[in-house]
């Protein structure tokens, strides 16, 4: 919900600044100007989603790129777990729904399940993490990602927290 409101706001800003340009480009043709404006809003949405991470209350994150979601655990989660010594990740081809348990992580002090923040079919798992789980502790947002999936319901991202909301959520936990 937060995402769609921000995107709508960005599109409104785009409309205010771009409508006259679209009309000029299309020689006053209002119909073509609206098509151009929709095109701008579509790319505005793609840009907005592409450069952002979204989080669950269970501390998983997802980054979206061209309909593929890369999933991992947050810094808070990896710090809570401690040194990760084992990672079980979902197999390629597995169909996962949002909120499904799809893997497990074990550390020297705890074990925990991994839940998918979004629905889709697993396209890749990070075999480097399976063979060297400590990557999660070293680089949970880059090298320590867990798996990727082709999104089947991209709109589910709207139910997740953006970085600001997640930071507030973490502050409220303490």
What is the residue-level pLDDT of the chain in tens, covering all 174 positions? 444 444 444 444 444 444 455 455 555 566 655 555 555 544 444 444 444 799 999 999 999 999 999 999 999 999 999 999 999 999 999 999 999 999 999 999 899 999 999 999 999 999 999 999 999 999 999 999 999 999 999 999 999 999 999 999 999 987
Q: Are residues 132 and 85 in the same domain?
A: yes
For residue 119, give its domain range: 53-173
Q: In what order do the strands lie in the sheet with 147-151?
A: 53-55, 60-65, 68-73, 147-151, 120-125, 95-96
Q: Are residues 23 and 67 in the same domain?
A: no
Q: What is the pLDDT of residue 38?
A: 56
**Alpha-carbon distances of 111 from 84, 103, 114, 131, rounded to whole Å:** 9, 11, 10, 17
The answer to whether the predicted template modeling score (pTM) of the entire model surpasses 0.95 is no
* CATH code for the domain of 72: 2.40.50.100
Q: What is the pLDDT of residue 36?
A: 53
Q: Are residues 27 and 98 in the same domain?
A: no
State the Cα–Cα distance between residues 25 and 33, nearest whole angstrom: 8
- In a 13 Å sphere around the CA of 34, the CA atoms on its Cβ side amount to 3
Q: Are residues 92 and 156 in the same domain?
A: yes
Question: What phi, psi does 123 have (nearest 5°)?
Answer: -105, -20
Q: What is the pLDDT of residue 150?
A: 98
What 3-state class would DSSP assign to 22? helix
Q: Are residues 112 and 141 in the same domain?
A: yes
Q: What is the pLDDT of residue 102?
A: 96
């Amino acid at each position: 919900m937060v995402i769609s409101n921000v995107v709508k706001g960005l599109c409104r800003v785009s409309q205010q600044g771009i409508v006259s340009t679209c009309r000029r480009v299309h020689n006053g043709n209002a119909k073509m100007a609206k098509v151009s404006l929709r095109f701008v809003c579509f790319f505005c949405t793609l840009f907005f989603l592409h450069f952002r991470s979204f989080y669950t209350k269970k501390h998983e994150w997802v980054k979206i790129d061209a309909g593929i979601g890369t999933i991992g655990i947050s810094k808070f989660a990896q710090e809570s777990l401690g040194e990760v010594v084992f990672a079980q990740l979902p197999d390629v081809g597995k169909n996962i729904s949002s909120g499904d348990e799809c893997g497990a992580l074990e550390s020297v002090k705890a074990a925990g399940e991994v839940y998918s923040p979004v629905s889709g079919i697993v396209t890749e798992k990070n075999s480097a993490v399976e063979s060297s789980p400590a990557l999660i502790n070293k680089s949970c947002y880059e090298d320590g990602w867990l798996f990727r999936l082709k999104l089947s319901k991209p709109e589910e991202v709207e139910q997740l927290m953006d970085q600001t909301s997640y930071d507030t959520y973490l502050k409220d936990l303490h």
